[in-house]
Structure 1
Amino acid sequence: MLLAVFAASGAFAQSTPLAITGVKIEIGDGRVIANGNIVIQNGKIVAVGEGVAIPSGATTIDGKGVVVYPGFIDAYTTEGLKLPSPPTGGTPPSNRDTAPASMWHGNPKGMRPDIVASKCLDLKGKLSDNYAQGITTALLSGGSGSVRGIATVIDYIEEGSILVPSAAGELSFRGGGGGGGAAGGYPGTLFGTVATLRQELADAQYYAAQKSPKKDDGLENLRPLVAGRIPALFAVSTAREISRAARIADEFNLRFIVTGGGEAYRSIDLLKKKNAAVILSPDLGYEPSVKVEDAPDATPQEVLDERHATWVEKTHNAKALSEAGIPIAFSTGGSGLGDFLANVRKTIGAGLPREAALKALTSDSAKILGISDRVGTIEVGKLANLVIMTGDFADEKSQVSSVLVEGKKFDLKKGGKK
């Protein structure tokens, strides 16, 4: 197990230059420098390339035998947040299938526009696990309800360095009331969930159009989403859900990103038409068996074969999207963080080109999240978010030895000992 040693050198954290010398550099956009230097000062990259001069007095790191990549980006996670309790207002009437003419005001209906991820950061115990996977930057979102509030993008350092306070508004067709009584209420069906989601967006549009609206924190939070200043992040999986999300995006003139997207390969034409990006979990799941059990009630062979064929289709999801020119990024959401890099390697094994996988971890992810001016590639002027690995990231034997986050270096060693 790899654990971070949280003792950033004072030299690295202050104005003294830091130089990584004689190192293989993968820029993150397809370019590679076989033997170059990287110079860092005040948290940013100030020089990179072959033969780059090392400033006098710089602290140096010998890059022989290792490879430097841009810090990997987790394009969607719900970890690292301490969410406020859902709004309550007493016990709602039992309205599972229909809404009354006058909606009971206290019914939360799975609506969580109150969640602003940048105000809910709780990274205690989270940094080392992310560093072990080479992750330095992430989009954090509430992931609760059908209107899920506002996501943020941060660098994983200290209590979180916020890069984009309001990065996206997350929406889903799941997370409604779920039934009558105190724990349920309207909506308890998909139809009801879609209806209340649309109503919430319509209310937010109306609110944003008013010169002096009566203050509503939830609708105020949604203002940048309905104004088109930030994208809508639709947490959807099936082709039908993706189609439904596209219709909602059209109706409310929302910019459109899919997260989840397990069946995105079945929606390629639609995604291309909408210029939509897809944030995928690289977790391919377990390969289902095609062997019929020797039992009277055993699953028929044709059913087993169909399940296996569907699984094979899904393993080619990232490859199909990449070949179609649809931007993709990777997410730890829906899979164990500790298996993140291992799962990325499995996705490469399933046909996604190595170069496309690296871009999904770095430059393409940064473009999708709107942070490519600061991270995603190793270039002058960008934040010094770097991953130092013992070899090629696609090689299962390669490990993360160090990460730099905004110029601060954190070493990773077996057992977590210095």
Structure 2
Amino acid sequence: MKNIHKIFTLLLVLTVSIPVTAQQTPAPAQSEAISITGVTAHIGNGSVIENTTIVFENGKITAMGANAPTKGRVINAQGKHVYPGFITVNNTLGLGEVDAVKASMDVNEIGTITPNVRSLIAYNAESKLVESMRPNGVLLGQIVPRGGRITGTSSVVQFDAWNWEDAAVKVDDAIHMNWPNSFSRGRWWLGESRAFQPNKDYSEDIQKARDFFNGAKAYNSGQTKEKNLAFESVKGLFDGSKKLYVNADSEKEIIDAVIFAKELGIQHTVLVGGYQAYKITEFLKQNNVAVIVGRTQSTPSFEDDDYDLPYKSPKLLHDAGLLVSIDPSGSMERMNTRNLPFYAGQVVGQGMNKEDALQLITSNASKILGIDADYGTLEVGKSATLFISEGDALDVRGNILTHAFIDGRELSLQSHHTNLYERYSNKLETDK
């Protein structure tokens, strides 16, 4: 018994002596009015207001303008810039922490058709990766499950919360689908050719998805009483309360996917990826399809593509009159989401107006997600979800935040990265 007590005591000492590093405590509700003065306001709708004042109370912007009277606490931001909080779409933030540690990953579910899988209840609000978004101005995001043909149901969250319930901004906003590939490569490990070959199962894969959605329509019209959670989860696609996000890249796949959704009576379709969407912009406009393009800092998929196609793709689609945002998914997508403003800044280098590029990750993203009544632009009556930057927030040299707010709550801009920066900066000073 004495040995047991000794072991217990030793474990207790070890436990309390090990430093525990968790996410900062979420900010409390706004308790006093805050006025930001002398700032250049980038509204998020394409316009800029110089030397203005922004006042917000109880989480809402209450006044804006050069002559707006200050109230409460005053932040002098002369020479600085204020932006609406950046919004990331089609992301797995909070669903995975360390790729090599299986227990920390909750991105994929078993099964091919799993629309009733809800990303929100798996979202980890205390993720270190989520915390690292805020110092670059990324304050909201759409959290999406991956895997299978119909991957699940996404939700929109804000990035300063105790848990998923507190984080939720828009619950179960969309269903996500991976469209079948019309071409595939051979399996090199079996000696098959790596050249592109037509996918012989393409039509069959589409038919399986069509059968599911037709079954769901019948179920939700009351033709059967047997409970089916998968069918129930897609009901919103047919009454317009949910959108269908379809991942497709080639010209043929995009056209097939849009026609597929239209024939089924799905009211709102969003194209994700859309690598060749620039070839069929008129078709997409006619069908009112918004496009979430892949990250701009990437290389072309085919050797006969323009070398700068990924850089300029958002501009090509924007110039054609489409509603466009940027998708950070891909290699190390959760970590790389902090580069979202620089993906938008990349398009500026391709000739896109800077304020138009800003819309890709603010107002356009909010419109696609259906949260534009509260987020995405700096306007009286909207949420005070914004940040102050020393310079141009789309440029890595100017994206230096001094203050950030979500619904008027002032955030900590500390993270594991900033702690390491301060630690080793101090070391360098000491070593001189």
> Distance between the aligned counterparts of 1:188 and 1:148, measured in 2?
23
**1:376-417 deviation line (CA, Å, top 9, x unaligned):** 111111111102111122333112313211112224367336
What is the CA-CA distance between 1:221 and the residue it aligns to? Answer: 0.8
Q: Secondary structure at the match of 1:399?
A: coil
> Distance between the aligned counterparts of 2:237 and 2:114, measured in 1?
14
Could you say what the CA RMSD is over the residues aligned between the two structures, in angstroms?
2.8
Are 1:272 and 2:296 counterparts? no
1:256: which partner in 2? Answer: 269
1:389: which partner in 2? Answer: 389
Sequence identity (%): 25
Are 1:65 and 2:71 counterparts? no
> CA contact under 8 A between 2:344 and 2:357: conserved in structure 1?
yes
Distance 1:203 1:277, change over 3 A: same
Are 1:25 and 2:41 counterparts? yes
What is the CA-CA distance between 1:372 and the residue it aligns to? Answer: 0.8
> Distance between the aligned counterparts of 2:353 and 2:222, measured in 1?
49
> Distance between the aligned counterparts of 1:408 and 1:60, measured in 2?
15
Query: How many pairs are equivalent?
Result: 364
Give the counterpart letter for 1:43 in structure 2. G
Task: Please identify which structure carries the higher helix content.
Answer: 2
What is the CA-CA distance between 1:7 and the residue it aligns to? Answer: 5.9
Q: 1:54 aligns with which of 50, 70, 77?
A: 70
Q: Secondary structure at the match of 1:21?
A: strand
Q: Secondary structure at the match of 1:258?
A: strand
> Distance between the aligned counterparts of 1:27 and 1:137, measured in 2?
17
Q: 1:74 aligns with which of 84, 88, 95?
A: 88
> CA contact under 8 A between 1:384 and 1:406: conserved in structure 2?
yes
**1:175-210 deviation line (CA, Å, top 9, x unaligned):** 9xx9xxxxxxxx994333212211111111111111
> Distance between the aligned counterparts of 2:320 and 2:24, measured in 1?
42
Give the counterpart letter for 1:139 in structure 2. Q
> Distance between the aligned counterparts of 1:354 and 1:213, measured in 2?
54
Name the structure, 1 or 2, with higher relative contact order (CA <8 Å, separation 6+).
1
Q: 2:418 aligns with which of 406, 409, 415?
A: 415
Q: Which moved more, 1:265-274 or 1:222-231?
A: 222-231
Are 1:132 and 2:135 counterparts? yes
Q: Secondary structure at the match of 2:132?
A: helix
1:233-312 mapped onto 2 (5 Å cutoff): 233-254=245-266, 255-286=268-299, 307=303, 309-312=305-308
> CA contact under 8 A between 2:26 and 2:160: conserved in structure 1?
no
What is the CA-CA distance between 1:115 and the residue it aligns to? Answer: 0.9
Q: Where does structure 1 lack aligned partners over 5 or more consecutive residues?
A: 88-107, 179-186, 289-305
> Distance between the aligned counterparts of 1:282 and 1:266, measured in 2?
18
1:84-163 mapped onto 2 (5 Å cutoff): 86=109, 108=111, 110-123=112-125, 124-158=127-161, 159-160=163-164, 161-163=167-169
Using structure 1 for the length normalisation, give the TM-score.
0.80
> Distance between the aligned counterparts of 1:85 and 1:244, measured in 2?
25
> CA contact under 8 A between 1:322 and 1:352: conserved in structure 2?
no
Distance 1:26 1:263, change over 3 A: same
Distance 1:246 1:71, change over 3 A: same
1:320-331 mapped onto 2 (5 Å cutoff): 320-331=316-327
Q: Where does structure 2 lack aligned partners over 5 or more consecutive residues?
A: 1-21, 96-104, 185-198, 424-432
Are 1:171 and 2:177 counterparts? yes
